[in-house]
Structure 1
Amino acid sequence: MNTATPQVPNNLVWAILSTLFCCLPLGIVSIVHAAQVNGKLAAGDVAGARDASEKAKKWAMWSAITSIVLIVLYFIFILAVGGLGALSGTH
């Protein structure tokens, strides 16, 4: 009989990194889900632990994607405003 607890990654490192370096609100949601994984495993809720793990991973990924999109939009905005200044002759 196999009584070993299955290994379910909690993705806590990715959640923390995405919170610190990417999008704070989405990273916090990722941390909340990552923090639930070990508790659910300890309670024997393997399906719940896997679900929380996947959600933590998904929110960390969305945090990173959001950060990249915002940085790209920022640079597009800066280039657009800089280009408008050059066109108006005030630069």
Structure 2
Amino acid sequence: MNSMFLGHCQSEDGFIGTEASYNNDATPPHQPLVIQQQNSVPRESAAYVVVNQPQRTVAMIYPRRHTNYTIPSILACLFCCWPLGLAAVIHANKANERAAVGDYERAERSAIQARNLLITSIIVGIVVTAFYIIIYVAQFNAAQQKLQQLQK
């Protein structure tokens, strides 16, 4: 005679199989299981089978955080090209707001846009600064030449 215990069939010889056969005298899953000992075996020699059921596991999945370009954008706004730096600050702020709400795809796009504007601001700032330095040096040399001509 087979008795059903947690989805495994156990025959009288102690073999535990995995076939799922429910018979009329098996306990339905929603009712408590009452185990009756059919033969009188002393408790010292009785074998007990402990079956561990899989437990519900909680897995925390953290989304990948976008890179925060707020501080570099502010610095680019102050020291490089301020219009592009200001646009980079705005996009970095949008990225932070969207990430806080959970819209990670749009937050990543805004962060990429902020990064591109930041890089462009730095490049434009370097080019413009180099241009001003070149013009200043050229004017200084021209003023030095005029001063030398006046002294002669």
**Structure 1 length normalisation: TM-score?**
0.83
Give 1 or 2 for the bigger CA radius of gyration.
Answer: 2
Q: Secondary structure at the match of 2:64?
A: coil
Moved over 3 A (4+): none
Deviations 1:38-57 (A, max 9, x none): 22123332221111001111
Contact 1:10 1:56 in 2 (8 A): no
Look up the match of 2:75.
17
> How much has 1:26 moved relative to structure 2?
0.7
* Aligned residues between the structures: 91
Look up the match of 2:28.
none
Cα distance in 1 between the residues matched to 2:102 and 2:94? 12
Specify every segment of 5 or more residues in structure 2 that has no aligned partner in the other structure, as ranges. Answer: 1-58
Look up the match of 1:42.
100
More helix by share: 1
Q: How do 1:2-81 and structure 2 match up within 5 A?
A: 3-81=61-139
Cα distance in 1 between the residues matched to 2:118 and 2:78? 11
Cα distance in 2 between the residues matched to 1:64 and 1:26? 9
RMSD of Structure 2 on Structure 1 (CA): 1.9
Q: Which has the higher contact order (CA 8 A, sep 6+)?
A: 1
Cα distance in 1 between the residues matched to 2:138 and 2:71? 37
2:120 counterpart letter in structure 1? W
> How much has 1:90 moved relative to structure 2?
4.4
Cα distance in 1 between the residues matched to 2:120 and 2:80? 9
